[in-house]
Chain A
Amino acid sequence: MTADPQQLDASRWPHRFAVLLVAATVTLIFVGGLVTTTESGMAVPDWPTTFGYGMFSFPLEDWVGGGWELFIEHGHRLLGSIVGLITIAFLLSLIRCDRRRWMWGLGLLALAAVIFQGILGGTRVIENERTLAMVHGCFAPIFLSLCVCNAVFTSRRWHLSFANADKRVVKDQIDRKPNQASAPPVNPFAGAKSGAFLFAAAVLVFAAYAQIVLGAQLRHLPATASAATGLTFAIFHVVAAVVLVIFAIAISLAARRMFKAADLSAQQDKSLNTGVRQLAHWLNLLICGQVALGCATWVLNYGWPNWLVTEQTSIVVAQNFWQTVITTGHQTTGSLILAACVGVFWRSYAVSRSAEYARLIGETNQKAGLRTPRTSNQTVSGALAGGVS
């Protein structure tokens, strides 16, 4: 994967659309979760029409006044359509503003994914197939992850890291202006440690997704499943949660230790490292929140565990506000955790490339007999990009 340092000067619109797409997709996942929680999936029996009307021509008064289930289901469809439109806008902005052809490919992939997801949801309705509802739910975090990738790849930090990292460009610069080129400092995040961290971060991404799929199995348990099956999935989900919490917190703590910004003099490196640390911080918060939401979801749906209370004293109102919001929030937070894990991986990957190339450049300079000291505003990328900060 390469980057064009000139992207630093390129339009910010692809990134803006990518971030908007992430935000809209998270909202869409929450509303989709509401559809499952409130069992509204079949509130509208036809697709892609809604009771014979086009997606956007369904009368507002029927949508708002047609009952909660219809409101949620049609709202989910509208939001899905909006996400599709944003994806198209993102792709167009890429074609217009981004010179990286592989990025165009990712934009196209996002469009294909959102169309596929829409068809999946529609087929679930037409066939009234609950298994497809589960698959539709499991594919949503994959699409969100793709959107996060797109947001990271179009971000200024990403361009910055690859401007720092593009050995070829740097070498040209050294050749052309040997006295002005200087090696960036060796970021602590380089070498064997970075490989191990990246591997662990990649495993975390897959573990977070596996946990989402396990949760979806629990949420979409087939009506014919036995009580033992239900309990098995629940136990797996809880055990996996414990493992995931420990793993994620370890990763985020490692990230906070390895991506220290204070020791770095270059503003760019600080910015890159801070980017990973911020995401690691968010991952920690999300994990803590998710544990709380998971416990609340259990209590609201299945009561207090027997080992904790001797008698249940609550009264459950079917589809009450807190049960609906917390259960759905737990599902959405799972996707957010996956998104944060994907972000941590790609941002740390960017730092590792930047750091590794910086180290190589340092060696190159030393071999060429160039001076290696640098100041905070005299990095290679700074020279290339005109002092980006």
Chain B
Amino acid sequence: MFPHSNPRTTRQATLLCCLALATIFTGCGSSDGVEFVLNTEGVPSFETQLAQQSEILASQAESNADINVDERLDEFSDSYFRKTDELAAALEALFGTPDDPARPPQTGLDIDLIRRAAGPTGGADVEPLLDEDGNVIAPGYHLGGLYREHCVHCHGMTGDGAGPTALFLNPYPRDYRQGTFKFTSTQSKEKPTDEDLRRTIENGLHGTLMPAFRVALTADEISALIEYVKYFAMRGEVELFLRAELFESGETLFFEDGTFNGELINTNVELVASLWSNVTVVQPVPRPGGKSWEELTAAEKQESLEIGERLFRNEGQCIKCHGPAGLGDGGQLNYDDWNTQKALVEDEAERAEMWLLPLQELKARNLQLGVFRGGRRPIDIYRRIRNGITGTPMPAANVGGSPIPDPLNPGQMIEPMEEEQIWHIVDYVLSLQYQRGFRTPSPEMNAPNGR
């Protein structure tokens, strides 16, 4: 280095040169902008809402001369921005920011694990917070940056599933903010366990671009990411609940003196936390006869497959989506929970304004491919049939002993089956991959005598 140069000045000059070059390559508009953004999925933009409000007020003003349209529009605008600011402030107070995460204690989330996943790629040290006398108010900590290193490009900074690569992918990356996860071992529609999330991260989702991280990450790192995924989900659900309180129920999150509406906020946080803590893991019943598939004789295997096929076509009603030969050609046009509302809006421009990603159809799985996103072990298939796939039209099997309404066909009922019979469907589904080209099942399989 130059003998009389100030190292700090030299470093600053170097950084300046580098950033000048960076500007050339990236353009002047480049900015970090590392922050969580509010969830406005399915919500018309402010301009659209204002225009709608303006139309309504204009028509009211025709019959009522006392209505001052401009004044009322100003009130609407003020209210809109006040509520939006309140929501953002409350979420930041509860959950922090991407580089300074926090969590409400009621959620039971482990802040150390969250910090290991949060922060910039490569990690960063956060200095302790000191008061004027130099006393530590809040100790420093390390951010691990795992999420931004491995996940953010698909799942996005806010966990909205709309990262920069999201549009390349089919299916889209998961939007965590609804707290809905597809592949669970818990009762239908319930939250996943940590083990469910671990299985997804470790093994990836076969047939999607969700990679298996079992080689790239250690078990501890995966634990940190699991916690961060739950953090996104809880934050997202709290946001949805608070948004409803603000915009639909007309509640306020801050009192006029600037203090928190603690009771309202705590109620919603506790509600979300309870959804995550009150889950029941479904323990699979033993296979019929207590024998595994490998232990069955050839005749028993054949019998299991035949029963499975009848159930597949009758009580299970699997053919409605998966088709008679399991090709996924049952004819039902389906959408998952992330797309159902989009499908109701016909105008594409309107849809583009209200949602981050375009409409994506959901195809029933072609079972002859032998590709099962939630795992291909018999127990995985069993869970998909027994518990359904949350967030999709794939229902949980009716093992309750009495007919239940068919969610796909209003007015029709789904006949019950015994829980152990699910194993026959598992056997049949797993056998379909060895029947490539199988198109038309034999007519006798239509008889509903699966039991």
Least Cβ–Cβ distance between B15 and chain A, in angstroms: 6
Query: Which residues of chain B come closer than 8 Å to A110, judged between CB atoms?
Result: none
The distance in angstroms between the C-alpha atoms of A132 and B210, with both chains bound, is 28
Let me know if A45 is at the binding interface, CB within 8 A.
Answer: yes
Let me know if A172 is at the binding interface, CB within 8 A.
Answer: no
Least Cβ–Cβ distance between B275 and chain A, in angstroms: 28
- Main SS of the interface on chain B? loop
Q: Which of A155-163, A312-320, A362-370 contacts B (4 or more CB under 8 A)?
A: A312-320
The distance in angstroms between the C-alpha atoms of A301 and B35, with both chains bound, is 26
Query: Which residues of chain A come closer than 8 Å to B210, judged between CB atoms?
Result: 316
Let me know if B343 is at the binding interface, CB within 8 A.
Answer: no
Whether the Cβ atoms of B25 and A229 lie closer than 8 Å is: no
Let me know if A39 is at the binding interface, CB within 8 A.
Answer: yes
Let me know if B44 is at the binding interface, CB within 8 A.
Answer: no
Whether the Cβ atoms of B211 and A224 lie closer than 8 Å is: no
Let me know if A61 is at the binding interface, CB within 8 A.
Answer: no
Mask, B152-169, CB within 8 Å of A = 1, is 110011000011111111
Query: Which residues of chain B come closer than 8 Å to A217, judged between CB atoms?
Result: 26
Whether the Cβ atoms of A227 and B167 lie closer than 8 Å is: yes
Please give me the residue from chain B that is nearest to A234 by CB atom.
Answer: B168
Query: Which residues of chain A come closer than 8 Å to B209, judged between CB atoms?
Result: 301-303, 312, 316
> B124, B148, B209, B213 — which one has the most chain A CB atoms within 10 A of its CB?
B209
Least Cβ–Cβ distance between B351 and chain A, in angstroms: 14
Whether the Cβ atoms of A128 and B124 lie closer than 8 Å is: yes
Whether the Cβ atoms of B18 and A132 lie closer than 8 Å is: yes
Query: Which residues of chain B come closer than 8 Å to A230, judged between CB atoms?
Result: 153, 163-168
Number of A-B contacts (CB under 8 A): 148
Whether the Cβ atoms of B121 and A306 lie closer than 8 Å is: no
Let me know if B299 is at the binding interface, CB within 8 A.
Answer: no
Partner of A221, one of B35, B153, B214, B366: B153
The distance in angstroms between the C-alpha atoms of A312 and B172, with both chains bound, is 13
Whether the Cβ atoms of B366 and A130 lie closer than 8 Å is: no
Query: Which residues of chain B come closer than 8 Å to A222, judged between CB atoms?
Result: 30, 32-33, 164
Let me know if A57 is at the binding interface, CB within 8 A.
Answer: no
Mask, B116-147, CB within 8 Å of A = 1, is 00001111100000000000000000000100
Whether the Cβ atoms of B25 and A138 lie closer than 8 Å is: yes
Let me know if B215 is at the binding interface, CB within 8 A.
Answer: yes
Whether the Cβ atoms of A317 and B212 lie closer than 8 Å is: yes
Whether the Cβ atoms of B121 and A226 lie closer than 8 Å is: no
Let me know if A134 is at the binding interface, CB within 8 A.
Answer: yes
The distance in angstroms between the C-alpha atoms of A315 and B166, with both chains bound, is 17
Query: Which residues of chain B come closer than 8 Å to A278, judged between CB atoms?
Result: none
Let me know if B404 is at the binding interface, CB within 8 A.
Answer: no
Whether the Cβ atoms of A310 and B363 lie closer than 8 Å is: yes
Least Cβ–Cβ distance between A137 and chain B, in angstroms: 9
With A134-B26, A227-B357, A318-B212 as given contacts, are A221 and B165 in contact (CB-CB < 8 Å)?
A: yes
With A230-B164, A313-B369, A316-B212 as given contacts, are A224 and B363 in contact (CB-CB < 8 Å)?
A: no
The distance in angstroms between the C-alpha atoms of A226 and B152, with both chains bound, is 11
Let me know if B60 is at the binding interface, CB within 8 A.
Answer: no
Whether the Cβ atoms of A39 and B121 lie closer than 8 Å is: yes
With A227-B356, A315-B212 as given contacts, are A119 and B14 in contact (CB-CB < 8 Å)?
A: yes
The distance in angstroms between the C-alpha atoms of A289 and B169, with both chains bound, is 25
Query: Which residues of chain A come closer than 8 Å to B167, judged between CB atoms?
Result: 227-228, 230-231
With A123-B14, A231-B168, A313-B369 as given contacts, are A223 and B163 in contact (CB-CB < 8 Å)?
A: yes
Query: Which residues of chain B come closer than 8 Å to A224, judged between CB atoms?
Result: 32-35, 157
Whether the Cβ atoms of B169 and A302 lie closer than 8 Å is: yes
> B33, B122, B157 — which one has the most chain A CB atoms within 10 A of its CB?
B122
The distance in angstroms between the C-alpha atoms of A227 and B357, with both chains bound, is 8
Query: Which residues of chain A come closer than 8 Å to B43, judged between CB atoms?
Result: none
Let me know if B324 is at the binding interface, CB within 8 A.
Answer: no
Least Cβ–Cβ distance between A321 and chain B, in angstroms: 10
With A131-B30, A312-B208, A319-B216 as given contacts, are A303 and B169 in contact (CB-CB < 8 Å)?
A: yes
Query: Which residues of chain A come closer than 8 Å to B328, judged between CB atoms?
Result: 311
Whether the Cβ atoms of A128 and B33 lie closer than 8 Å is: no
Let me know if B301 is at the binding interface, CB within 8 A.
Answer: no
Least Cβ–Cβ distance between A115 and chain B, in angstroms: 11
Whether the Cβ atoms of B211 and A317 lie closer than 8 Å is: yes
Let me know if A41 is at the binding interface, CB within 8 A.
Answer: yes
Interface residues of B in 312-363 (CB under 8 A from A): 328, 356-357, 363
Let me know if A82 is at the binding interface, CB within 8 A.
Answer: no
Query: Which residues of chain A come closer than 8 Å to B217, judged between CB atoms?
Result: 318
Please give me the residue from chain B that is nearest to A223 by CB atom.
Answer: B152
Least Cβ–Cβ distance between A225 and chain B, in angstroms: 4
Let me know if A247 is at the binding interface, CB within 8 A.
Answer: no
Least Cβ–Cβ distance between A116 and chain B, in angstroms: 8
Mask, A290-332, CB within 8 Å of B = 1, is 0000000000011100100011111111111000000000000
Please give me the residue from chain B that is nearest to A127 by CB atom.
Answer: B15
Interface residues of A in 35-60 (CB under 8 A from B): 39, 41-42, 45
Query: Which residues of chain A come closer than 8 Å to B156, judged between CB atoms?
Result: 227
Whether the Cβ atoms of A311 and B168 lie closer than 8 Å is: no
Query: Which residues of chain B come closer than 8 Å to A39, judged between CB atoms?
Result: 121, 149-150
Whether the Cβ atoms of A123 and B18 lie closer than 8 Å is: yes
Query: Which residues of chain A come closer than 8 Å to B214, judged between CB atoms?
Result: 317
Interface residues of B in 5-23 (CB under 8 A from A): 14-15, 18-19, 21-22
The distance in angstroms between the C-alpha atoms of A230 and B429, with both chains bound, is 38
Whether the Cβ atoms of B168 and A318 lie closer than 8 Å is: no
Whether the Cβ atoms of A128 and B120 lie closer than 8 Å is: yes
The distance in angstroms between the C-alpha atoms of A310 and B19, with both chains bound, is 44
Interface residues of A in 255-309 (CB under 8 A from B): 301-303, 306
Let me know if A24 is at the binding interface, CB within 8 A.
Answer: no
Query: Which residues of chain B come closer than 8 Å to A152, judged between CB atoms?
Result: none
Whether the Cβ atoms of A302 and B18 lie closer than 8 Å is: no
Least Cβ–Cβ distance between B197 and chain A, in angstroms: 16
The distance in angstroms between the C-alpha atoms of A303 and B206, with both chains bound, is 12
Least Cβ–Cβ distance between A235 and chain B, in angstroms: 10
Whether the Cβ atoms of A311 and B366 lie closer than 8 Å is: yes
With A131-B26, A132-B22, A231-B168 as given contacts, are A223 and B153 in contact (CB-CB < 8 Å)?
A: yes
Let me know if B170 is at the binding interface, CB within 8 A.
Answer: yes
The distance in angstroms between the C-alpha atoms of A135 and B19, with both chains bound, is 9
Query: Which residues of chain A come closer than 8 Å to B162, judged between CB atoms?
Result: 226-227
Least Cβ–Cβ distance between B116 and chain A, in angstroms: 14
Partner of B15, one of A123, A225, A227, A229: A123
Query: Which residues of chain B come closer than 8 Å to A120, judged between CB atoms?
Result: 18, 21
Query: Which residues of chain A come closer than 8 Å to B122, judged between CB atoms?
Result: 41-42, 45, 128
The distance in angstroms between the C-alpha atoms of A217 and B25, with both chains bound, is 9
The distance in angstroms between the C-alpha atoms of A310 and B361, with both chains bound, is 12
Least Cβ–Cβ distance between B126 and chain A, in angstroms: 13
Let me know if B204 is at the binding interface, CB within 8 A.
Answer: yes
Let me know if A213 is at the binding interface, CB within 8 A.
Answer: yes
Q: A303-B168, A311-B363 are in contact. List 15 more A-B contacts (CB 8 A).
A: A120-B18, A123-B14, A124-B18, A128-B120, A132-B18, A134-B22, A223-B153, A223-B157, A223-B163, A227-B156, A230-B167, A311-B369, A316-B204, A316-B212, A317-B211
Shortest 5 CB-CB contacts between residues of A and residues of B:
A42-B122, A230-B164, A318-B211, A302-B168, A225-B164
The residues of A with any CB-CB pair to B shorter than 8 Å are 39, 41-42, 45, 119-120, 123-124, 127-132, 134-135, 138-139, 213, 216-217, 221-231, 234, 301-303, 306, 310-320
19 contacts between A and B (CB under 8 A): A41-B122, A42-B122, A119-B18, A123-B14, A128-B121, A132-B19, A134-B26, A139-B21, A221-B153, A222-B164, A223-B148, A223-B157, A230-B166, A303-B169, A313-B369, A313-B371, A316-B204, A316-B210, A318-B150
